[in-house]
Amino acid sequence: MTSEAITVLGLGNLGRALAETFVRAGHPVTVWNRSAAKTPGFSAAATVAEAVALGDLVVVAVLDNRAAQQVLSGVDVRGKALVNLTSGTPGEARELARWAYENGAEYLHGAVYAVPQTIGTAESSINYSGSPLVHERWQNVLALLGKVTFLGEDAGRASGYDAAILSGMYGLLGGFLHAAALARAGGIKAADLTPMLLSWLTDMQPALHTFAEEIDSGSYTGGESSLAMNQSGLALLIRATEAQGVPFGALSELKALVDQQVLDGRGEESLARAVESFARG
Ligand SMILES: NC(=O)c1ccc[n+]([C@@H]2O[C@H](COP(=O)([O-])OP(=O)(O)OC[C@H]3O[C@@H](n4cnc5c(N)ncnc54)[C@H](OP(=O)(O)O)[C@@H]3O)[C@@H](O)[C@H]2O)c1
């Protein structure tokens, strides 16, 4: 058994998977959960303070950062390495990092790309940002949970990536659900549509790299997929979806971003330029 003692605060679905993974690897693990009903089978402390005192590494996984703040408030965290895997905004992560620093602890924030069942497998990865000391000292232990990627010293950076990645994911999921509804309205099974949709999305992947370069450089003049062409394509698609009785507001919102750029006289430039419409609010 290794001597690196670990505390897990929060024994919900994620926290339980984290604690079980550390136990399996032979670490002495102390857990604390708001409701004691979830702690049987673990070495559980009666209070957060007791749990924190017993761990060199303290991992937090509660519902949101407000709960994380409540849990840690008033607890002596001096000398501890705090790793918070709770989802939230970059600002919340920075605030917790400041609190930790002012109270003598080191703070690393993590964004988890796994479900509880895949924690500790090759299908799990976690992006971290915050204290480089915690990352360096604990990365081998954190690697038990999933692939470790360190994004730098700004504690809010992992949550910043997370919001963007999850927005992309929900955009894709929303698009898929709409596609399935449209297919169903046309008498096509979702299972028949999905392989063709995936094939097209896979072929389209390189376009995202091109768009990313255009967005980062602010130069949109080299593209092949113009705003004007996509404006016309979106108008057609919106009409088609309405005709099938399955309209989707997200398409109109996307078209509004494109319309704004065309109105500004940028119709011949790349579709990626529509990103500039977001900045208008
Ligand atoms: N599950 C996933 O697949 C997954 C993946 C990535 C990220 N995450 C993130 O990980 C965090 C935990 O997710 P989860 O799936 O474990 O959620 P969960 O199963 O709903 O568990 C929530 C945990 O938070 C505790 N909690 C809630 N409010 C609290 C408060 N005010 N004070 C103290 N404890 C409080 C709960 O305690 P009680 O048992 O007493 O209610 C429970 O331990 C979330 O931020 C989630 O977004 C989860």
* Domain CATH code at residue 121: 3.40.50.720
- State whether 142 and 223 are in the same domain: no
* Domain CATH code at residue 256: 1.10.1040.10
- State whether 111 and 245 are in the same domain: no
Residue 181 domain flag: no
- State whether 33 and 148 are in the same domain: yes
Task: Evaluate whether 272 touches 220 at the Cβ level (below 8 Å).
Answer: yes
Other Cβ atoms within 10 Å of 48 Cβ, number: 22
- State whether 13 and 149 are in the same domain: yes
- Residue 223: pLDDT band with limits 50, 70, 90: confident
Residue 16 Cα to ligand 1 middle (Å):
10
Residue 170 domain flag: no
Atom of ligand 1 nearest to the CA of 65: 45
Atom of ligand 1 nearest to the CA of 85: 10
pLDDT at 1 over 60: no
Work out the average pLDDT over 17-25. 98
Name the token pair of 151: 């994004």
pLDDT at 281 over 60: no
- State whether 18 and 108 are in the same domain: yes
- State whether 143 and 17 are in the same domain: yes
In the chain, the number of structural domains is: 2
Q: What is the pTM of this model?
A: 0.93
Work out the average pLDDT over 162-183. 98
- Residue 121: pLDDT band with limits 50, 70, 90: very high
Domain range for 139: 6-156
- State whether 24 and 84 are in the same domain: yes
The three-class DSSP label of residue 171 is: helix
